[in-house]
Amino acid sequence: MTLGEFKNLNKKNNLPDKPGVYFFLKGKEIIYIGKATSLRDRVKSYFGKDLIETRGPIIVDMVFKADKIKYEVTDSVLEALVLEANLIKKYQPKYNTKEKSDKSFNYVCITKEKLPKIILVRGKSLEPKKYENVFGPYPSGSQLREALKIVRKIFPFLDDKSKNYLEFYKQIKLVPDLEDRRLYMQNIKSIILFFEGKKKKVFKNLEKEMKEYAKHREFEKAGETKRQIFALKHINDVALLKQENFSNLEILQEKKNSSTLLQPSPGTFRHQNSFSPASFRIEAYDIAHMGGKNMVGVMVVVENGEIEKSEYKKFKIRTQDNANDTGALKEILERRLAHTEWTYPNLIVVDGGLAQINATRKVLNKLNINIPVVSVLKDERHKPKAIMGNKSLGIKHEKEILLANSEAHRFAINYHKNMRNKNFLK
């Protein structure tokens, strides 16, 4: 493996503005491995004046002990994700394992079946002997899920939900012709090699298969294999780029004239029995409508950095008949918080600015519930530009906050579209 290197840690701009994997070393020992959309920008972020405020104590300790940085450029962010996992498994850097428990890591597993499935398994549930192949650890479950979506578009495969959605998956080309086991196993073999970091071997095998299909006049299969070669050469990992680029957002605290809103009002309290002390739960809310018509609201849940789709909730707005987003937000919060049997969140995320924060706190104060609140402020292109509200939590949980906000927006838009289509047909 050929690595770039810079020994003077003060020369932070020597790294290329390309995706890849970076290594912090102490002497000859690799003590931390990370991936990046831009090696230059990612490594530079470790040397900012706000390091102590924006990074945990483990990473701060690692940076101060490191005396050298190396890196390896990859062709895509997706390949950086795969390479990072393979190298963490190989070297087991102490600061990677300190930063996150083994049980919190994620793994790509291939089942032992005639038509193997590709599934994602959390470390706490992993039993390696049950599977034909296991790849990982992957630090971020949300990024791994995005990566598998990208891989699946190149090499369609079965997953643990395929039994219920097989016909739908066939229609959108997420599984190949299952009657042709050879073609399916070719996909599985390619996926295995890709997750082993052997992309050149994948190309070699596909080109050989394509020639064989053409030789036997199986032109449809030859065409599919040609498509896979092209897709692998032009990996579209925009979704991963979006997640990686969240790190440059500004974290804002409200201006002085509204700073008192950061403090709970007298007499407020937490419903202690409704919180889960062993985890950090974020609930994000968003509203969707078209000129006040078919107005809906949603709640999504991110717990310990992982999306929990089974806990998503939909709300058809009952009290608003115009484009009153804050009024709709109050309604869904009141309806949600009335369910004391549902676990209360450690943090509430709303879409918007100070008006949405104030509306949320008004509901919380009315119910004597003390839950921190942040909002995600968007620019004119509806892209996140700042996090307002609780500054310390905004910094500490920036990635999870943005993930939750993005999920809430997606879920709300889909619900609104479905509602609009149903009403159109009436």
Per-residue pLDDT reduced to its tens digit, 195-227: 999 999 999 999 999 999 999 999 988 999 999
Q: What's the average model confidence in pLDDT over 275-287? A: 78
CB atoms within 10 A of CB 280: 17
Instruction: Please say whether the beta carbons of 88 and 102 come within 8 A.
Output: no
Residues 266, 398, single domain; the answer is yes
The four Cα atoms 243, 245, 246, 251 give a dihedral, to 10 degrees, of 170
Please name the residue that has the structure tokens 């790190």: 247
Residues 62, 124, single domain; the answer is no
The token duo for 351 is: 């879409």
pLDDT tens-place string over residues 30-60: 999 999 988 998 898 888 776 666 667 888 8
Residues 416, 274, single domain; the answer is yes
Residues 63, 198, single domain; the answer is no
Please name the residue that has the structure tokens 């840690």: 9
Residue 195's domain spans which residues? 103-241
Give the per-residue pLDDT at 238: 64
Sequence-separated (6 or more) residues with CB below 8 Å from residue 257: none
Number of helical H runs and strand E runs in the chain: 15, 15
Q: What residue type is 216 in one-letter code?
A: H
Instruction: Please say whether the beta carbons of 228 and 155 come within 8 A.
Output: yes
pLDDT tens-place string over residues 73-101: 999 999 999 999 999 999 999 998 776 66
Please name the residue that has the structure tokens 């470390």: 123
Higher pLDDT, 250 or 2: 250
Give the per-residue pLDDT at 252: 64
pLDDT tens-place string over residues 132-191: 999 999 988 888 988 999 999 999 999 998 888 888 788 778 888 888 898 899 999 999
Residues 78, 47, single domain; the answer is yes
Q: What's the average model confidence in pLDDT over 222-235? A: 92
pTM confidence score: 0.57
Higher pLDDT, 13 or 42: 42
User: C-alpha 40: how far from its chain's center?
Assistant: 22
Instruction: Please say whether the beta carbons of 228 and 154 come within 8 A.
Output: yes
The token duo for 325 is: 């987003």
Give the per-residue pLDDT at 133: 95
Residues 258, 396, single domain; the answer is yes
End-of-domain residue from the set 50, 74, 99: 99
Q: What's the average model confidence in pLDDT over 116-141? A: 91
The CATH number given to whatever domain includes residue 43 is 3.40.1440.10
Give the per-residue pLDDT at 270: 38
End-of-domain residue from the set 65, 99, 133: 99
Residues 257, 118, single domain; the answer is no
User: For residue 296, what pLDDT band results from cuts at 50, 70 and 90?
Assistant: very high
Q: Is a pLDDT exceeding 60 seen at residue 425?
A: no
The CATH number given to whatever domain includes residue 391 is 3.30.420.340
Q: Is a pLDDT exceeding 60 seen at residue 246?
A: no
Give the per-residue pLDDT at 249: 54
CB atoms within 10 A of CB 257: 7
Dist CA 305 CA 53 (whole Å): 19
Give the per-residue pLDDT at 290: 77
Instruction: Please say whether the beta carbons of 65 and 3 come within 8 A.
Output: no
Give the per-residue pLDDT at 267: 34
Peptide bond into 137 cis (omega under 30): yes
Q: Terminal CA-to-CA distance of the chain, rounded, Å?
A: 63
Residues 227, 130, single domain; the answer is yes
Give the per-residue pLDDT at 27: 93
End-of-domain residue from the set 182, 212, 241: 241
Residues 261, 386, single domain; the answer is yes
Q: Is a pLDDT exceeding 90 seen at residue 109?
A: yes
Residues 297, 390, single domain; the answer is yes
Number of domains within the chain = 3
Residues 86, 112, single domain; the answer is no
Residue 317 phi, psi dihedral angles, 5° rounding: -65, 130
Instruction: Please say whether the beta carbons of 189 and 205 come within 8 A.
Output: yes
Residues 43, 181, single domain; the answer is no
Sequence-separated (6 or more) residues with CB below 8 Å from residue 318: 331
Sequence-separated (6 or more) residues with CB below 8 Å from residue 146: 237, 239, 240, 243
The token duo for 209 is: 């298969």
Q: Are strands 384-389 and 4-6 parallel, antiparallel or unpaired?
A: unpaired
pLDDT tens-place string over residues 305-364: 888 888 999 999 888 777 788 999 999 999 999 887 788 999 999 999 999 999 999 999
User: C-alpha 415: how far from its chain's center?
Assistant: 21
- Sheet containing strand 118-122, strands side by side: 118-122, 106-111, 131-138
Give the per-residue pLDDT at 339: 86
The token duo for 383 is: 């892209």
User: C-alpha 103: how far from its chain's center?
Assistant: 18
Give the per-residue pLDDT at 271: 40
pLDDT tens-place string over residues 250-273: 566 554 433 333 433 333 333 433
Q: Up-side HSE of residue 191: CA atoms within 13 Å toward CB?
A: 30
Give the per-residue pLDDT at 268: 33
